[in-house]
Structures are given as C-alpha cells and as structure tokens.
Structure 1
Amino acid sequence: MKKIYDIDANLPKAVKYMNLLLIGVAGSGKSSFVNSCATALLDDGRLVQASLAMKAGMASATRMLKLAPLRRKGGDVIPIRLFDTRGILKEGTEVVGKEEMNYIIDGYVKPNAKMTSLSDMKAEKKSQRETPKIGDEMHCVVYVVRADKSMDDKDPCLGEIAGIRETVAQRNLPQCVLITAIDKILPNADDVGDMFRYSIVQKLCKFVSNSLKLSPGNIFPTANYVIEGVPDAVKDGISLCTLWKIVSLGIDYLNQMEGIGDNIPDDFFD
C-alpha cells in the first residue's frame, strides 16, 4: 500500500496524475474494481462505493467517462485516476467504438463527460480539451473481462477488445487485462489468495493472453467486492497488488518517454 500512497515520487514532473483507462463489457467488473481499490486504499473498515456497479448482462451503468477519487487512509486523494468507461455490449447497440476510445486515450475528453459518438463528443466543447498534454492522456489501457463468462475464439467482446488493442499498440501505450470474478471459477472461493495453484486459472490466463496477443505478464486475475458486507484482508491485498502492477506499467511508460522522463540525459535520444 505504501508504494501506491507514495506514487507522487515516481511520476515525472510533467505529469500530475497517473491516468488509467478501463475498457470492457457492461458488467465485466470495471466499476467493481474501482470500488475494490477504493476500499483497500481508504482502509477504514467499510466497503467504498466510488462507482455504480451493475450485474453482468445488464446495460452499462456508466454513461460518462466516470472518475471518482481514490483516497489514502485519512482521506487525502491519491494521484491515480481510474477512468471507468461506458461498457461494450455484445448486442452492439451501445458500443463505444475505436474512434471514440482513441479520442479519449489522446486526452481530449475531460473527466465525467458524457460518452456518446465521436461527433457528439467533439461538439460538446465544455467537456473537451483543445490541446491535451501528456498529463491529460491515458498512461495505460486496462481491458476487463469476467472469469465466469464463457469465452472462446469467436467471442464478440474479445473481438471488440482485440480491435482496440491493435490501435493502441501502434502508439506503444502499455496494455493489460484484468480478469475479474476469478473466485467464481475456483472449486473453493476461499482459496482466492492462492489462485495461481489452480490449473483452471493458469489456462484462462493463457487463453486471454493468446487471444489478445498480450504478454502473460500483463494478465492480472483478481476478485472484486460484490456481495460482501465488510472488507476482507485477502481481497484488499489482491486489489492493491493488481493496482500496483497496472500503475507500474504506466510509470515505466512515462519514464521512458523523450522529453518527459526525469533524469534522462539531453542527448540520450539523439
């Protein structure tokens, strides 16, 4: 937890906040992950509802580029911004397409702006930035899928994510996958703290890695708070560990950028 609390020391001077974008199907666990991280970080003995979460299969509860602050124990805001996007639906009726996602990734859309078509978002001037800077852009893209939903090579949701992944890859932006509800597929949900000893988890991570052409090291299985009444030390630990792995990808990305990373000699990229 201390590493996340002290993230300020790892950010380049040109960047005030670490921006992380969550992308996935409605009900995949994006909002629940935000809530789980908020609960673990605040650490005050209660479950935090920072973002409205819905059941899998329901219409997306997120209609905006949702942003809620993550707070340290005591209440101070941590400079990590987890952006919760409108869900990608299997029916294809409310899909946030690649063009809209690129516009968001590039930093043009302000927090809590309504997520609509690209033309409509551009027309909403108050919710847009004319010339976004590196601190406005996304520093890591996180795709969210559920472990307890059947996935195969023909899954349209994975297809949507794969299309966005290809576009994001062209800009060398770090990408990873969050596999939520991992406790739902274990023979004993209480073993979630030791999930990697189960072959079903290993096989699922390998399948997602191969399907989306991402490194196995960038696939993070996790278990969010859903029906629990009080925080649990194991789930808190999983949430914090997962968040730190994602944040670390963003830190490495920023610190390697020409003109952004600190302590890089002026002639290093000559």
Structure 2
Amino acid sequence: MQKAKMSSAFAAPRIYNAPLTSSLTAEQRKQLCGLLGNLELTLLYKASVHGYQASAFHQQCDNQGPTLLVAYNRSGYIFGGYTSVDYAQSGQQIIDDHAFLFSVHDGSTLLDHQVSAEEKPWRNVLWTAEQRAQLMKMIRNYNPPVMFMSQVRILMIGPVGAGKSSFFNSINSIFMGRITSKAMSGSAGTSLTTQFHTYAVKDGRQGKPLPFVLCDTMGLEEQSGAGLDIEDISSILQGHVPDRYEFNPTVPYYPDEQNMSRHASLEEKIHCVVYVIDATKISLMSDKLQEKLASIRRKVNSLRIPQMVLMTKVDEACPLVQKDLQNIYLSSYIKSKVQEVSSRLGVPLSCVLPVKNYSQELELELNCDVLLLTALQQMLNFADDYLDDVDHM
C-alpha cells in the first residue's frame, strides 16, 4: 500500500520491526509517481509484513488520506487503484470522482483514464442503422446446413459475473425491440445461474423462434467443488444434459440407464462454444481458473467444435469506449486486452469479439446492437463450419 503525499500534512513516519521496502522497481515507482503528478510515495502497508487479513490492512491504512493500492499476481502483472478519499470502515457507500484503476506489465503502464487512440481502427465496423438491419436480416434468414435442422446450439461458458446471461438478455432485447430481462443476471459473488438453461429467441413478441439457441451454464469458479464442473461441460457438449438440469458442483451429471443407452442427435449437441470473459478482469485471472479454461478448451478441441471469445464490459474497462462505443476499435487499450485474451486462452485474435451487454440502459442503442449482432453472426458462421465438417465426415 502506497500513500501519496498530496501535501505537507502527511502522516508521521512509522517504525516497524522489519525493514519495509516496496517490491516495485525504480522505473515502475517513477511511472506511478508521474501519474499522480510527480509526487513522493510513502509505504504504509505490505501484506507480507503486516499480514493478509482485512483487519491488518485497515489498521495501517484507514484515515491516511489519498492512497494508492498496488497488488501483484503470479503471472507478473502489477495492478491496483487510487482513491483520494480516506479508507474507513464506515459501512457507507463512498463516491470518489478522482479514483482510477491501473495495471503495469513488462515495465509499461496502462491507465484506464489515459488510454491512447489509434489513428485508424484496427477493425472496420459500419455503425449505421442499415448495418443493424442487415445483420438482423441475415440472422433471421439463417438456415443450418444440415437437412431437418432448424436451430444451432451455442454454449456460453465463463467465470461468475462475466455476462453470459446478460448476453442472452441483450440479444433478446434487440429482437423484442425493448430492454428485456428474461435470464437471471447480476453481479453476485457466486453464480446466479444454477441450471443448464437453453434459451430460444423469438423474432418479436408474436414472431417465430430464430434459428439459434443460446445455452447458459453455471459460472466457472477457481475453487474445486465450486461452480460448473468440467465433466458437466463434457456431457453438455455431447448433448446428454437435459434443459433445466440443476447443477451440483460436487457431483457431475451422470445420465440414467435409459439416457446412457442412446446416442444424442446432432440437434442436441453443441455446435459452437463461446467463452465469456470480463474485460476488466483479464489481468486478474487466476492460474487455477486459466487451467480450468485450458482443460475445457482441450475437451472442446477433441470434439472439433469451433470456439470464440466474447469480451464483455468494454465500456467499464476503457473510458474512451465508455465515452463513445464507436471508439472500441480505436482504443489501444481494448486492442491490448483482445491480444491478452487471445494469448491466455489460446484462441486466434479474429476469434475474440469485444461487446457491451445491456445492463443499466432503459432503451436500445444502435452501436451496442451492432456489436452484439456482429458477434452473434460470427457464432452462426462458426456453427456452420462445424456442421459442414460433420456433414462431410
């Protein structure tokens, strides 16, 4: 914990039994000081010295004025946040217009509020009502390339709170012409989705079902015995798990004798897998969670099912995008996050699509729709690739 000396009225020096030194390099310390206006920093708290308990943190850092928090993970990332308001245990909500988050890696600093814009977009998007209408028409008119199939099945997998259920709600909203909230979504610490749930989307309130089904799952958690089990995912991929099946994180799905004796039809299987990742938490992804995702990817690869990544909450990750969603492919920060996701999950850059789900909006928004529909169209393209491959086997 680094305290920024914003004036001469800073806390008196503290005396410790062991030397208290920061793990930041001189260059990283210089960068962080520069971001705060070339101020000096005084070390208040170090977890390895004072302890990792919340009480130890508050004992050292409460009521100390403007404070900079610096943390590290095993992948070599340095990240944290700044607040100009005192830390305290008041139990009340505190608003700080000057607060920001940052991350540092390989000597470079990426600050959420100092993101640079590229001269040319690194992907081309038509931000027009005509493009939205064209995408909606293509999705409505999509036909799976296998006779007698009317819908493809797209499986959404991701950590708790990444936005799987919100993506369905957003797509449903676009075709309903208003904001909807059919799937349970939110920001709880544990998964709000406890069932395997298949969601069909209608083309308007009285319209026919559209040619895809979005399959929602329980959120992934890094702890063993919590969140979605990898064995459950294997059963889902192969079409064995029924709709509304209630997940049990400690016991994987096991079909009864009747279901074990039959082979799932092609219609019941998954035709495209989509990993939903929160753009604000990519650098914070734990080794255990990354290992879980790698295990899932190996299983999906063995079944030759196409995979892509939906990178959500891009507006929360980058103020440039929050200001105007059309800046998404001008943001060097979002580009770096796409590259990071590609590297961490082992998927091509072209398979990582940044989007913004509807969360707090009361009305539909053109730019948001274009991004969401573009992602959905790509999912249908990938499902096509899988079915074409199956059809020729």
Q: TM-score range by the shorter chain?
A: 0.7 to 0.9
Q: Judge conservation of contact 2:161–2:189 (CA < 8 Å) in 1.
A: yes
Does residue 12 of structure 1 match 2:143?
A: no
CA distance in 1, matches of 2:260, 2:292: 25
Match of 1:193 among 326, 332, 352: 326
Match of 2:194 among 55, 58, 63: 63
Match of 2:277 among 137, 141, 145: 145
Other-structure match for 1:256: 389
Give 1:157 shift: 2.4
CA distance in 2, matches of 1:128, 1:36: 36
Q: Which SS does the other structure have where 2:382 is aligned?
A: helix
Mean alpha-carbon deviation: is it higher for 231-240 or for 145-154? 145-154
Other-structure match for 2:357: 224
Other-structure match for 1:266: none
Other-structure match for 1:33: 167
CA distance in 2, matches of 1:150, 1:144: 11
Other-structure match for 1:184: 316
Letter in 2 for 1:183: D
Give 1:4 shift: 0.6
Give 1:128 shift: 8.1
Q: Judge conservation of contact 1:113–1:127 (CA < 8 Å) in 2.
A: no
Question: Aligned runs of 1:1-270 on 2, under 5 Å?
Answer: 1-8=136-143, 10-43=144-177, 46-55=178-187, 58-73=189-204, 74-116=206-248, 121-123=253-255, 130-151=262-283, 154-188=286-320, 189-257=322-390, 260=391
CA distance in 1, matches of 2:370, 2:260: 36
Give 1:127 shift: 8.6
How many residues align? The count is: 256
Q: Judge conservation of contact 2:231–2:252 (CA < 8 Å) in 1.
A: no
Give 1:117 shift: 5.6
Deviations along 1:166-206, one digit per CA (max 9) or x if unpaired, are 12112211011111001112223132233011111111111
Q: Judge conservation of contact 1:35–1:49 (CA < 8 Å) in 2.
A: yes
CA distance in 2, matches of 1:185, 1:256: 37
Q: Judge conservation of contact 1:22–1:85 (CA < 8 Å) in 2.
A: yes
Give 1:67 shift: 1.9
Give 1:210 shift: 1.0
Q: Which SS does the other structure have where 2:281 is aligned?
A: coil
> What TM-score, normalized by structure 2, do the two folds share?
0.61
Q: Which SS does the other structure have where 1:48 is aligned?
A: coil
Classify 1:246/1:118 alpha carbon distance in 2 versus 1 (closer, same or farther; 3 Å). farther
Kindly indicate whether structure 1 or structure 2 has the higher relative contact order, using CA contacts under 8 Å at least 6 residues apart: 1
Deviations along 1:5-62, one digit per CA (max 9) or x if unpaired, are 0112x4311433200000111111000001011111222xx2111211021x521111
Matched residues, percent identical?
Answer: 24
Give 1:256 shift: 2.3
CA distance in 2, matches of 1:22, 1:49: 17
CA distance in 2, matches of 1:103, 1:94: 18
Give 1:215 shift: 0.8
Give 1:150 shift: 4.6
CA distance in 2, matches of 1:35, 1:242: 14
Q: Judge conservation of contact 1:54–1:60 (CA < 8 Å) in 2.
A: no
Structure having the higher strand fraction is 2
Unaligned runs of 5+ in 1: 262-268
Unaligned runs of 5+ in 2: 1-135
Letter in 1 for 2:138: K
Higher alpha-carbon Rg: 2
CA distance in 1, matches of 2:252, 2:304: 28
Give 1:96 shift: 1.9
> What TM-score, normalized by structure 1, do the two folds share?
0.87
Pairwise CA RMSD: 2.3
Q: Which SS does the other structure have where 1:65 is aligned?
A: strand
CA distance in 1, matches of 2:245, 2:285: 34
Give 1:109 shift: 0.9
Mean alpha-carbon deviation: is it higher for 216-225 or for 119-128? 119-128
Letter in 2 for 1:29: G
Q: Judge conservation of contact 2:201–2:212 (CA < 8 Å) in 1.
A: yes
CA distance in 2, matches of 1:80, 1:129: 27
Give 1:98 shift: 2.0
Classify 1:14/1:117 alpha carbon distance in 2 versus 1 (closer, same or farther; 3 Å). farther
